[in-house]
Chains A and B, each alone.
Chain A
Amino acid sequence: MSTQPYRREGVTGRVLRFRFDGRDLEGLAGDTLASALLAGGVRAVATSVRLGRPRGVYAAGCEEPNAVVQIEEPFPEPMLTATTVELYDGLVATGLAGRGRLADRPDPARYDAVHAHCDVLVVGAGPAGIAAARVAARAGARVILADERPEPGGSLLGTTETVDGGPGRAWAAAEVDALAALPETRVLRRTTVIGHYDDNYIVAVERRTNHLGAAAPPGVARERVWRIRAKRVVLATGGHERFVAFAGNDLPGVMLAGAARTYVNQYGVLPGRRAVVFTTNDTAYAAALDLADAGIEIAAVADVRREPGRMWAARCAERGIEVLTGHVVTAAKGEGEVTGAEIAPRTGGRAREVAADLLLVSGGWTPVVHLFSQAGGTLRYDEGLGAFTPGETRQAAEAAGFAAGVTTLRACLADGAEAGRRALAALGFGAPGVTVPVVEEEPAAAPAEHLWLVESGDYGTHFVDLQRDVTVAEVLRATGAGLTSVEHVKRYTTAGTAHDQGKTSGQLTGGVVAHALGVDVAALGTTTFRAPYTPVSFAALAGRDRGPLHDPVRTTPMHEWHVARGALFENVGQWKRPWYYPGLGEDPGEDMEDAVLRECAAVREGAGAMDASTLGKIDVVGPDAGVFLDRLYTNMMSTLKVGSIRYGVMCRPDGMVFDDGTAIRLADDHYLVTTTTGNAAAVLDWMEEWLQTEWPDLRVRCTSVTEQWATVALAGPRSREVLAALAPGLAVGKDDFPFMTWRDAEVAGIDARVCRISFSGELAYEINVSSWHGLALWEAVMASGEVTPYGTETMHVLRAEKGYPIVGQDTDGTVTPQDLGMEWIVSKKKADFVGRRSYARADTSRPDRRHLVGLLPEDPGVLLPEGAHLVSVSAAASVPSSVASAALPAVPPVLPVPALGFVTSSYRSAALGRTFALALVSGGRGRVGERLYAPVGDDLVPVTVTSHVLYDPEGARRDG
C-alpha cells in the first residue's frame, strides 16, 4: 500500500480518503487522524504556538500535547487533537499553530443534553472499569459505564496482553457488549466525563455522529451533554505517560513509548523504522519488544537506571537489542524531524549518536486523578510512581485500577471488582458471585527512577509543556525570580494551561520545579484540577437552548391576533406584550411615533383596548386576608367593601416602593390582588415569605391566578357605550357602576368580571374572562368596530400624562411613595405595615430627596432621552462656551457639576400637543417653575419643572 507506507504488513480494512494540509491521503476504518497521518508518513503535523517549531504526534489519546488540528470539512471545528479525531471519508484538516478558527457560519448540526441517574457510574472502560461495572451490573444495580473512546478496553487496546486466555481487546469488547444488553445498564461510548461536582453530579459529553463526517444523519444530535446523578462513582480513569525534559524533546519523531505501542498494536501503524528508547522504568520495554515484533529495529534502549527489570533485559538480549543501563538521551538530533539520538552515560562521559527516526520516551506514568481532585478529593504522592494518587474524598466515589495507583493488569482487574463490590455494599445490594478474569503472571517490576530532566548547560529546548512552548529554561527563570509554588510557576510560565491542561506536562513541571528548588516533589504538591477534563465545544454546551428555545417566550391568549395585525412587541420579563400597532390607521406605512400618537388620540377621544392579560394576579383567601394585606400595603385594605377596588403600593422594609397594583374584594375572606407584569412571581414569593416566616398565625392562603384570567383594558370616553353593547345585562351607568368597583357580568356572552379602574385617567374598564375565552372576548371587542387596539407604549404615554409612575421605570428601589407625590397612600392610622418604620428615619424626610416631577422641554418638539441627567443653572455654566446658548448666564463654573436627578420617562403627547417627561429631581416639588438643563450630546436642553400630573389634574375625565 504505497499510500500508507508505514502501515504494518498484513493490516487491511476499508480504505478512507482524507486530506491534510492540502495532501490527499488514505487511512483505514478504525484509524484516528493521527494514526492515519503516521501511516502516511506525515511526521510534522502542527507548529508550536510561540516558537514556530514543527511538531509531530506525541501521544495516542486525549493527552496529546502536539498534534492540534483544524477540521475544515465537512464543517469547520478548531483545536481538536488528531489523536481523538476518528477518521472518516472526506475529512479535510490542517495542522494548527496553537490557535484555531471558528466557523464563519452557523453550525447546522443538532446538539442536545439529557439527564440520567444511576446507582453506580463507572468512568473508564479499561480493565478496572469493566471489572467494576460487571460486578455492579450483575447485582441488578443501575449502572452507567462511560468511556471516551469508540472501543472499550482502555490500556488493553494498545497492548498484547491476554485476559481469560484470549486477547484483552476481545475480552473487553465481549464484556461490554454483555453489559450493554442488560436492561438497567447503559454503556456510553465516545463519552468523556468532563466534570465531577458535588453530590456526584457528573457532566459528560458524548460524541455521537462526529465520526460519521458528512454521512451523519440529520436530526440526530451530533454531541450530547449528559448530566448524571450517581449514587456511587468508580473512577477507573487510567493513566497518562509522561516524558523527560532533554534537548530537542519536541522534534517530530519523539513519541511517548506507550503511544508507539498503541499505534503498532491497535492501529497497525509503524511510527518509524528504527527506534531509540529512553526510559526511567520497565514499561517502555514492553513497547520496545512489541515494536521489534512489528518489524521496527530497536537501535538501543537507554535506561537511566542501573538495574532494569531482569526479565525485560533478558528478552531484549534474546532479540539482540542493546540495553544501555545508567544512560540518558541527552538530545534528539535532526532538522525538522528525528534522525538520531545522542546517548551518554548519566554520570557524564562520552556521548554517542545513534541513528534513528523514532525516539521513544517514558518518564513514568501519572494516574488520571483529574475527576477525583475536581470533586474535592485530596491527593498524596506515591514514591513508586513518582506521581500523585487519590487520597480521601467527601464524595461517594473512589478510584480504581491505575487511577488509584495499582500497576499490574491482574491487580487492576481485582481492584476494579473490589470497587464494584464496595459500591454495591454501600447501596445495600447483595454482591453477586463474579469470578475475576484470569491473566498471565506478570514479572515483578524493577523500581522506576524518577528523572525529570537531563542536565545540560542549555535548557532552551528542554521542553516541559509542548503546547505552550515552555522549557526548563523558563521554569528556572520562574524559580530564579523567587517563585516557590507550582501554582505561581504555572501562571508565570503558562505551563499546564493549554488545551491539554498539562496532562503530560503537569507532573513533569512539578518535578523540574522541585529539582530546581531542591525540595521534595511530594512537599511541592500539584496544581489544582478543574473541569472540563477535555475541551468542550460551546455548541455542545448550548445544546438546544438556541434560537427560539433559548429562553421561554410567554404569550397571552390573544397573541396570535396581535401578530396577525402586525403588532410590534415589547419584552417584559419573558412576556411578549404588544408595543404598538403600526399601519392600523389610515397610513399603512406609519412609524412608531405616528402610531403611538394615533393610538393615544383614540383613547383620549374615543375608545381603545389593550391586552392587559400579563398583569400578575393573586387570590388571597382566608379570614385574616384583610389584616394580611393591611400589613403588606402602605394603605388600608381591610376596610375595603366587598364589590370595591383599591389601588395600593407595597414597600420593602426600607420604605422603598417594591410594587403597586389593585386589590379587589370579592368576599369578606377573599381578595384578588394585581401586581405589575414583571413582579408577579416576586410578589407571590414576598407574600409567602411573610406568611411562612413572620406571620404563620395568619389564616391566609395565596394562589397565583395570573394565567387563569385574560384581561382586556377598555379605555376612553366611548368605552361605556362599547361595554353596554357587549354586555346588555350589565347596568353601566355612572351611578350603577361607579369608579373603583367591579361587577360579574356576561360580556360578549362570556362570564366576565368587569372592573372599573383606569390607568389612563379616562373612563375605563378592565374586563377579565377565563383565559380560554381571552381571544373570543378580544375579537368581540374589536368586532364592535369602534375600538382602536393600543399597545404598551400608548399605555405608558397615557399614564405618564397623568403622572402615574411605573414601578421599575420611574422607581429604582430608592424611591418612597412620598417621593412619588403619593403621601396620601401611606396610612397614618395603621399601627404597622412593612416599611412604616423607615418613614421615621431622617433620611426619608430629607427635603432634597428626589421627587417625581414633570418636565416640559422649552422647545416643545424636543424629546429628552430617558436617563438624561439634569443640572441647575449655575452648574450649566461650566460647559464649554461652544455649546452654551444665550439662555445661559455667564456664571463661573462650579465643579464638579452636581446632578440634580434624571429623566425616567419621556414621550410625545397627543393630548398636550408637545413632548414631556417625568423625572426624579432633588427637592423637585420645590422647583416647580424652575429651569433646569439636560445635557444631551453636545447640547444643553433647557426644561421647565412642572407637576408630575400634566393632563386633567382635576380628574374630570374618569367618569366619561
Chain B
Amino acid sequence: MTADPVADSVAESAAGFVIGRRSPAAAYSDRFAAASAGGAIRLAEIPFLTHLNVRADPASPAAERIGTALGVPLPVEPGVVTEGGGLSVLWLGPDEWLVVGPDGAARELRERIRGAAAGEHVSVVDVSAQRTTLVVAGERARDVLAHGCALDLHPREFGPGRCAQTLLARTGVVLVAKEDGFWVLVRSSFAAYAAEWLLDAVVEYTAVECRG
C-alpha cells in the first residue's frame, strides 16, 4: 500500500512482474549533472526519501512522546528544522511537521510515531511520493533561488536549520536550508516544471560569468 521498502529501484516480484520505481525528476538526472559540471552550482534529485506528514497538538504529551520516539524533537518555533539520527523534522505549521528520513523508512517510522501517539489524536500520513527532493547547492545556489523565491535567503535570515513553505517561481515548495546547500521539496506533478525552471535559471551561472 505504500512505497516499496526495497531500496532497489528495479526488482522482480514473486509473480514475475518487473516492478520499477521512477522518481519524479528521474528524466532530469543527466541535465542536472551537466549543469553542475562548472562547480558554481550543483543540481540533483535525491529520490525516494521518506516523507511523513505528522499533525498533532504541539502542547500534547503525544507530541513530546513522538519527539522522544524519533530521537528528534518536533520543533515548535516557526520555520525551524530539527535533525538527528538521519531524520529531519520540518516545521510546516503550528500543528504540522514533515518528518524526512531515508528511502524505505516510511512503514517503520509511521508505526513508531503511531506507537508514541498511543491513541491520542495524531495524524501520520505517508507522503513520500507526494513530493520529491531537489538539491540546489554550490556558491551561487542562493543567487539561483533568488530568481524565483521572494524570501530573504541571506544566511543571517535563512541559515542552515531553517525551512519555509514558499513559492519557487510559480510552484509551491518546501524550502530547507542545509549546511551544504538547499533542499527544494516540490510536488511530484510540478517536478518537471521546477526542474526546467532551475535548469533555465542556472544558465547565467554555469556559462558566462557576468558581474552585474
Contacts and interface: CB of A to CB of B under 8 A. Distances in A.
A553 B147 CA distance: 19
A776 B196 contact: no
B12 A749 contact: yes
A219 B169 CA distance: 19
- Name B's interface SS: loop
A544 B191 CA distance: 18
B179 interface: no
B204 A219 contact: yes
Contact of B207 (A219, A551, A553): A219
A447 B206 CA distance: 58
A177 to B, nearest CB: 13
Nearest to A117: B152
B19 A776 contact: yes
A224 B212 contact: yes
A311 interface: no
Contact of B208 (A114, A142, A220, A780): A220
Given A117-B154, A701-B123, A771-B24, A219 B128 contact: no
B1 A752 contact: yes
A746 B188 contact: no
A748 B48 contact: no
A668 to B, nearest CB: 12
Contacts of A229: 150, 152
A705 B1 contact: no
B203 A219 contact: yes
Contacts of B21: 772-773, 776
A548 interface: yes
Contacts of A557: 22, 24, 188
B105 to A, nearest CB: 14
A920 interface: no
Interface string A216-255: 0111110010010100000000000000000000000000
Given A112-B147, A114-B147, A217 B121 contact: no
Interface in B171-194: 171, 187-190, 192-193
Contact of B17 (A227, A709, A780): A780
Contact of A707 (B17, B20, B55, B131): B131
Interface string A732-750: 0000000000001010111
Interface in A839-894: none
B197 A549 contact: yes
A728 B212 contact: no
B37 interface: no
A544 B201 contact: yes
A552 B193 contact: yes
A208 interface: yes
Interface in B2-24: 2-4, 12-24
A95 to B, nearest CB: 32
B127 A114 contact: no
A774 B4 CA distance: 12
Contacts of A621: 55, 123, 125
A708 B204 contact: no
A291 to B, nearest CB: 36
Interface residues on B, range: 35 or more
B87 interface: no
B3 A770 contact: yes
A863 B116 CA distance: 61
B76 interface: no
A227 B187 CA distance: 26
Nearest to B5: A751
Contact of B171 (A113, A224, A552): A552
Given A549-B200, A708-B128, A699 B17 contact: no
A944 B198 CA distance: 56
Given A113-B147, A554-B189, A704 B130 contact: yes
A575 B187 CA distance: 13
B35 to A, nearest CB: 12
B151 to A, nearest CB: 8
A542 interface: no
Interface in B117-144: 121, 123, 125-131, 143
Contacts of A705: 125, 127, 130
Interface string A139-154: 0001000000000000
A566 interface: no
A208 B210 contact: yes
A78 to B, nearest CB: 26
B82 interface: no
B4 A750 contact: yes
A771 B121 contact: no
A240 to B, nearest CB: 27
B163 to A, nearest CB: 18
A773 B17 CA distance: 12
Given A749-B17, A749-B19, A776-B21, A703 B204 contact: no
A759 B171 CA distance: 31
B128 A622 contact: no
A665 to B, nearest CB: 15
B113 to A, nearest CB: 12
Contacts of B121: 622-623, 699, 701
B85 to A, nearest CB: 24
A906 interface: no
B14 A749 contact: yes
A832 interface: no
B15 A206 contact: no
Contact of B188 (A206, A549, A619, A707): A707
Nearest to A191: B212
Given A227-B150, A772-B23, A221 B127 contact: no
Contact of B200 (A188, A544, A560, A770): A544
B46 interface: no
Nearest to B120: A699
A779 to B, nearest CB: 8
A728 B126 CA distance: 26
A537 interface: no
Contacts of B171: 552
A748 B123 contact: no
Nearest to A779: B20
Nearest to A549: B197
Contacts of A753: 1
B108 interface: no
A903 interface: no
B34 interface: no
B212 A703 contact: no
A622 to B, nearest CB: 5
B33 interface: no
B2 A775 contact: no
Contacts of B126: 708
Interface string A100-129: 000000000010111111000000000000
Contacts of B3: 751, 770, 772
Given A554-B189, A707-B188, A744-B1, A622 B129 contact: no
Contacts of B48: 772
A709 B149 CA distance: 28
A555 B24 CA distance: 10
A746 B22 contact: no
A676 interface: no
26 contacts: A113-B147, A115-B149, A115-B150, A117-B154, A117-B157, A188-B212, A219-B203, A224-B212, A544-B201, A549-B169, A549-B196, A552-B169, A554-B190, A554-B193, A555-B192, A622-B123, A701-B95, A708-B127, A708-B129, A726-B17, A749-B15, A750-B17, A751-B2, A770-B129, A773-B19, A776-B22
Interface of A: 110, 112-117, 142, 188, 206, 208-209, 217-221, 224, 227, 229, 544-545, 548-549, 551-557, 559-560, 575, 614, 619, 621-623, 699, 701, 703-709, 726, 728-729, 744, 746, 748-753, 770-776, 780
Ordered nearest first, which 5 A-B pairs have the shortest CB separation?
A749-B13, A749-B17, A621-B123, A554-B189, A117-B152
Given A110-B203, A771-B130, A772-B23, 9 more contacts: A112-B147, A117-B152, A142-B154, A218-B208, A560-B27, A770-B4, A773-B22, A776-B21, A780-B17
